[in-house]
Amino acid sequence: MSQRDRMRRLIGFTCLTAARIEALPGISRDHNIIMPRVTELHVNGVARRVNASPDRSLLCVLRDDLDLTGAKYGCGEGQCGACTVLLEGDAVRSCITPLSRAAGKHITTIEGLEQDGRLHPLQEAMLETGAMQCGYCTPGMIMSGVSLLAKSANPNDAEIVHGMQGNICRCGTYPRIVAAVRMAALRQKTAGRTA
């Protein structure tokens, strides 16, 4: 396997910064394997510039370059939902979203939901319903739920289940997650707040 293929494979499976990759045995700086490019992102309402390859995953850039560790690395294939963030309001799997797709767009992570010292209604509802056990999937669940509530202010249980498809909870708290989304929808309606 060539150095280029080895590097691509490593980046596909883990969040490795350029410095970490270059420190690996057998990876040479002389081959210009990594071609960083300055990219502007709009993360949680703040313009951020990163010097990263456009092929790197959004998840790796968020976690390694911007220290936003709420989105989790789970499967690395976009199947478990632990890495879910909002891109222009839509829930996306950041582990399979290349940085180039997110450039110049508005990105919201779990860290950006709190406003003026108050949690988002779905964050509060997740706490109150006991929808979290280990908590690993929780940020991704919340981000998918926030996206759903932005599109449907009063979803029924079937719509909630459909909207949360692809978010896996290894602890099996699905009934509580559905209850939390329902509770958040009711609170947002009562408060007149949009997701």
pLDDT tens by residue, 5-22: 555 445 444 565 554 555
Domain match, 96 and 134 both = no
Domain that holds residue 43: 3-112
Helices (H), the chain: 3-13, 18-22, 58-60, 99-102, 121-129, 138-151, 157-163, 174-191
Q: What is the DSSP letter of 30?
A: G
Same structural domain, 61 and 15: yes
Residue 65's closest CA among 83, 53, 79, 80? 53
Q: What is the pLDDT of residue 37?
A: 77
Last residue of a domain, one of 112, 136, 156: 112
Q: Are residues 80 and 99 located together in one domain of the fold?
A: yes
pLDDT of residue 30: 52
If asked whether residues 90 and 172 sit together in one domain, one would say no
- pLDDT band of 34, cuts 50, 70, 90: low
Q: Is residue 78 located within the same domain as residue 14?
A: yes
Residue 64 has what DSSP assignment?
I
Write the CATH number for 140. Answer: 1.10.150.120
- Residue 129 and residue 107 share a domain: no
Question: Are 101 and 110 within 8 A, CB to CB?
Answer: no
When divided into structural domains, the chain yields a total of 2
